[in-house]
Chains A and B, each alone.
Chain A
């Protein structure tokens, strides 16, 4: 069965430090992977996706993600965190049709 795991409920990072939000997946075939961000009481905003090509994908707001096929991971990264990056982050993989299978979400807290 296809699934997505975000092993950390919460990640705390000091402002200016690099951040990583982890995601692992389980799919049959080639994965289509996504990262979305959700601010309080808001819908989700698309950050980036991996379909094919370079394993390092660059997205919005300075975020990037690295696709690692051998480790079945798609971790989200940013070299220098901002307080405004504090939000809920979701990893997702494409399931049947255009449906997305969602991770549980990781709350990212950036402390000044």
Chain B
């Protein structure tokens, strides 16, 4: 149980285009989802916390107009990287929590490469 999927697993795009990454909780309803960014050989950097039906809460320094997060249902959150630039290239990981439990379950990640 508690499986989280992400799609796509890899994406290559041209500079200036937008990319959407989906995060789904497959066998549970996730009241809260998190979006992380991970640089090579580094820890996870929390970008935003997303609650179903409400606006995402962004961490300091994360541009909300560039990283659009939508949490339309209890099983789906999307992250759209708008007007992507090479510096946005990174590994993006989502996670979801099961109701009142504290455990976060992670998706497999999305490798974004912006040319």
* Beta-carbon contact of B6 and A99 below 8 Å: no
Q: State the CA gap A34–B49 with chains docked (Å).
A: 19
Q: State the CA gap A36–B38 with chains docked (Å).
A: 15
Q: State the CA gap A100–B104 with chains docked (Å).
A: 9
* Beta-carbon contact of B104 and A43 below 8 Å: no
| Sample (20) of A-B pairs whose CB atoms are under 8 Å apart | A34-B104, A41-B111, A42-B108, A42-B109, A43-B93, A43-B107, A43-B108, A43-B109, A45-B106, A46-B104, A46-B105, A97-B32, A97-B49, A98-B32, A98-B34, A99-B34, A99-B49, A100-B104, A104-B42, A104-B43
- Which B positions have Cβ atoms within 8 angstroms of A? 4, 6, 32, 34, 42-44, 46, 49, 91, 93, 95, 97, 102-109, 111
Q: Contacts A34-B103, A98-B34 known; list 14 others, CB within 8 Å.
A: A32-B102, A34-B104, A36-B106, A41-B109, A42-B108, A43-B106, A44-B44, A46-B105, A90-B44, A98-B97, A98-B104, A100-B46, A102-B44, A105-B42
